[in-house]
Each structure stands twice: as C-alpha cells, then as structure tokens.
C-alpha cells in the first residue's frame, strides 16, 4: 500500500465516523513546501471516547497484518498524546496525535484546508499553522529538519505573514521566526 492509497483509506474512515482531523508533518510539508522523503504520516484527530473503539475496528479492517494497540489508543486519549498504526507490508506508519485542548490547536483544526487525493477529500493543516507547529517543534528539539521544512514552505507557499507574526509571538517563537525570515531575505 502506498501513502496516497492509505491517506484515501484513512480519509474515508474519518468521514464515515465523523472524526475531525488534519494531516501535518512531512506529508503537509510536501503539500505546502518542497518534496522530501517521509516514512510516516502525522495526523491530528479530534477523537471522542465513544468513537475510539469504532475507529480501532475500522483501522484494523485496512489489512490483516496491521499493528494497533487499543490500550495505547485509550492512554493517548486520556493524556492528549499519540498512538501508532503500522502497516507492515508497506512499512508505512501513521502517528495519530490527539487534538490538545489548547486555543492554537483548536484554531489549527478550524483552519484546515481540504485537498483532493484521487476522489477522496483529505484535510491538511494550513501552511501557516504548519510553519508555526514546526517552529514549536524546533524550539523543543533543535531538529534542523524542522527549520528546513519551514524555509521551504515560506519560499513556496503564499502565507499570511500577519497571522504568522501574531501567533509566533503568542507561542513564544517570534525570535526563531524572525531569524528565519531574515535568513530567507538575505539569500
């Protein structure tokens, strides 16, 4: 199974179960920035407890050999953390991140953008929210991959700089954001 086909399958499941979601991470970077390899799919989901078992059942139907731990799903929901889904035949891994009860996270969900993959509508984080979330990750991890991704999105996608400025200040990443903007201007 390839990434596009898996994204379509997941989109159908979320639509069927009425689970709000958006794709973020490396796949979203490919959509809004430069092409790059990514071995996993990062999805933020707004999951209610009453839909957890139905989601697990639908994910397990994708293939007989998939890995999914229901206990980890319950723990992720309780802690607003993450759980994994692995499709061994293709080597694809999906990291499901539970939507946090934070203002920025709720805004990210409202600002998601629909794109068609084949005939399936798939929701992606906006380019601005991808930039902001990657800068937060960079601040926490110092992973240069995050900065490279942000730079590619800033160079390729038309973005709302006022929104970025406002939220970079609210998220305490304005210095990192401004340094990156200055770097781009000077090259």
Q: Rounded CA gap, 163 and 158, in Å?
A: 12
CATH code of the domain containing 82? 3.30.460.40
Number of domains the chain is built from: 2
Q: Is there a single domain that holds both residue 159 and residue 101?
A: no
Last residue of a domain, one of 125, 141, 172: 125
Q: Is there a single domain that holds both residue 105 and residue 148?
A: no
Tell me: the pLDDT tens digits for 28-85?
999 999 888 887 899 999 999 999 999 999 999 998 889 999 999 999 999 999 999 9
Q: Rounded CA gap, 10 and 102, in Å?
A: 25
Last residue of a domain, one of 125, 140, 167: 125
Q: Is there a single domain that holds both residue 106 and residue 134?
A: no
Q: Is there a single domain that holds both residue 58 and residue 137?
A: no
Which range of residues forms the domain containing residue 114? 3-125
> In terms of residues, how long is the chain?
187
Tell me: the pLDDT tens digits for 125-161?
999 999 999 999 999 998 888 999 999 999 999 999 9
Q: How many CA atoms lie within 13 A of 75 on its CB side?
A: 8
Q: Is there a single domain that holds both residue 51 and residue 90?
A: yes
């Amino acid at each position: 199974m390839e990434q596009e086909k898996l994204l379509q399958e997941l989109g159908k499941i979320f639509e069927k179960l009425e689970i709000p979601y958006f794709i973020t991470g490396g796949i979203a970077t490919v959509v809004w920035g430069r092409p790059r390899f990514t071995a996993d799919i990062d999805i933020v989901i707004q999951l209610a407890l009453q839909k957890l078992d139905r989601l697990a059942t639908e994910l397990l139907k994708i293939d007989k050999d998939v890995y999914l731990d229901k206990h980890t799903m319950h723990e992720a929901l309780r802690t607003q953390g993450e759980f994994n889904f692995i499709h061994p035949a293709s080597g694809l891994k999906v990291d499901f991140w539970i939507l946090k009860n934070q203002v920025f996270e709720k805004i990210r969900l409202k600002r998601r953008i629909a794109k068609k993959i084949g005939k399936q509508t798939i929701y992606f984080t906006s380019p601005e929210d991808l930039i902001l979330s990657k800068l937060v990750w960079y601040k926490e991890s110092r992973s240069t991959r995050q900065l490279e991704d942000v730079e590619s999105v800033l160079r390729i996608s038309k973005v709302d700089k006022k929104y970025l400025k406002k939220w970079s200040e609210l998220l305490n990443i304005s210095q990192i954001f401004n340094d990156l903007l200055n770097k781009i201007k000077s090259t």
